[in-house]
Structure 1
């Protein structure tokens, strides 16, 4: 089958990639132009132009791989945002703790000052950088056990806070780099999809119809899955019911429901309805359970395609999968052998 493709998702990182440029895929255009130019002068305009269709397939496959990279980076960015928020909370709590400790020591200093003068020990303890105080105090021979404990606790708190600040800075820098990756992958996907759509729109109606028929045909060399059969588990049955309900909803690249999906977003969403958390990308989903042969496939199993597992769908029995194919084609049923299968996974 034709490779699977994607349309623009909701702008989750609009602040960083809203200005992403959609450029022309010149190499693809040159290849397509050369293919079309090679057609015989007297060729029937309704005759399928294999070169153009192959080029559309290639562009959609590249777009799908870039989309999976986008999803992976997007998932990573989400985790980093959570970690940054947690680091900020820890920093705030740490600073509050230090302020409390210094306030307590300040109260003691105030009492001493009112009673006749400030102990040099407390003056040092209240300094902006008390890290070296213990060494200094040993030479002053003025520190009490209680003051030593309080100072040691303050020193530890300040060191922890400094480490938290360093970690937060590192996470912020990593998040910024991940956001750039997301924006870059979005530009790649947009470019590939725009060129594929241009080529499709340039095809005569008959050829476009032939392309869609070809994209829904099954291969005969992929083996034979189990016919019918029951889901392997209650969670598989729930995910199967969810994915059937999604049939007809639009393909939206980078989306994981409920109103639109890309391929791995659909399977992730379906299993989420069953209370099962799947990874975001098809490459990771293929390892989210036990792999079985195609002959053992049962409804609810995940079927990954191509050697790089850049596309995925859910087996629904009777030799069919439900999947989100590509932009312009809604979630639908197709033959399980629509393209080379890389694995079948039982979640």
Structure 2
């Protein structure tokens, strides 16, 4: 039997070799892309995760306030559209009634108007009766002219109402598109924040959920009272109280805020079961009989500005350079606010975030 000899492998050189090497590298790169990543994400400390999550939540809250503003304008456009359509319907009903009345007069004239007035007078056996009827006819003609003028006016008014309704409809469509953009931005920020939080240990996530701190080894300011500082209700405060509140309305607003403690944060919500930050302050002051606008950046201009050293319970306190967060001051350096998704309405020190200003609703 003939011996089988192993074929000698030839080494590729020149252009052929370079092509083979290129293909091999491309295949390796493809395999790496389809398999494990070329490099893992850098490992962040708990403090770094907290800083990034805080930033994402701040961005999400800013987007939430833009969403709230767009929703408020969309609601206004929808209400205006409904009002315009209702007014157009009422005017159309009046127009139809006028047209029917005018048609009845025209029909009566057609039936009796075959002869001219002079001929009718000459042939009439009762001239006095005819002249009386002629006077009535003249007055009816004047009324008819008035009705025609009224119909023209109604037609013009209806056309104007329909034009305004079309404008509101277009505005509503634009607001809905804006709402969709803000909703997408909010969800994107929250998803990114959640992915970062998932990199923490369960204990670190629990600590962050309790008081917004992801520090290690007990860091983060937890004082045994849920990170509130000064006891569960803060120094000199108790549920439903408004120590030093500037008036009965402020006291009512603070009492409402205390009643909301523990209710969940939900972006875009304004009660009664859930709130975002500006939804809570708006609802609290609505309970006191004061109407506030919906967003943080409009609420800060809705009352008298006050300095930090002149704060009184009931005042609105705002945070961050973009005025993207608000709470209601309750005294003792404490506020009640709806902090962020995944949390609940709580007491917190006002120096927990960068202070941007304060306002006292009128």
TM-score bin, normalised by smaller chain: 0.7 to 0.9
CA RMSD of aligned residues (A): 2.5
205, 208, 214: which is aligned to 1:208? 205
The residue number in structure 1 matching 2:355 is: 341
For residue 337 of structure 1, give the secondary structure of its aligned residue in structure 2.
Answer: helix
Using the TM superposition, give the Cα deviation of residue 290 of structure 1 relative to its aligned residue in structure 2, in angstroms: 0.7
1:85-104 to 2 correspondences below 5 Å: 85-104=82-101
**Contact 2:302–2:359 (CA under 8 A) maintained in structure 1:** yes
**Contact 1:35–1:52 (CA under 8 A) maintained in structure 2:** no
**Contact 1:112–1:118 (CA under 8 A) maintained in structure 2:** no
Task: Tell me, yes or no, if structure 1 residue 279 matches structure 2 residue 296.
Answer: no
Task: Tell me, yes or no, if structure 1 residue 315 matches structure 2 residue 329.
Answer: yes
Task: Tell me, yes or no, if structure 1 residue 77 matches structure 2 residue 91.
Answer: no
C-alpha spacing 1:305/1:101, structure 2 compared with 1 (3 Å): same
85, 95, 114: which is aligned to 2:111? 114
1:123-134 to 2 correspondences below 5 Å: none
Q: TM-score w.r.t. structure 2 length?
A: 0.71
For residue 322 of structure 1, give the secondary structure of its aligned residue in structure 2.
Answer: strand
Higher relative contact order (CA 8 A, sep 6+): 1
Q: Give the total of aligned pairs.
A: 276
Q: Deviations over 1:139-161 (max 9, x none)?
A: xxxx9544433222211111111
Larger Rg: 2
**Contact 1:227–1:319 (CA under 8 A) maintained in structure 2:** no
**Contact 2:105–2:144 (CA under 8 A) maintained in structure 1:** no
Q: Gaps (5+ residues) in structure 1?
A: 1-32, 40-47, 120-142, 219-225
**Contact 1:300–1:315 (CA under 8 A) maintained in structure 2:** yes
The residue number in structure 1 matching 2:49 is: 52
For residue 352 of structure 2, give the secondary structure of its aligned residue in structure 1.
Answer: coil
Q: Deviations over 1:155-176 (max 9, x none)?
A: 1111111111111111111111
The residue number in structure 2 matching 1:134 is: none
Q: Gaps (5+ residues) in structure 2?
A: 1-39, 117-139, 214-219, 222-226, 228-234, 238-242
**Contact 1:35–1:51 (CA under 8 A) maintained in structure 2:** no
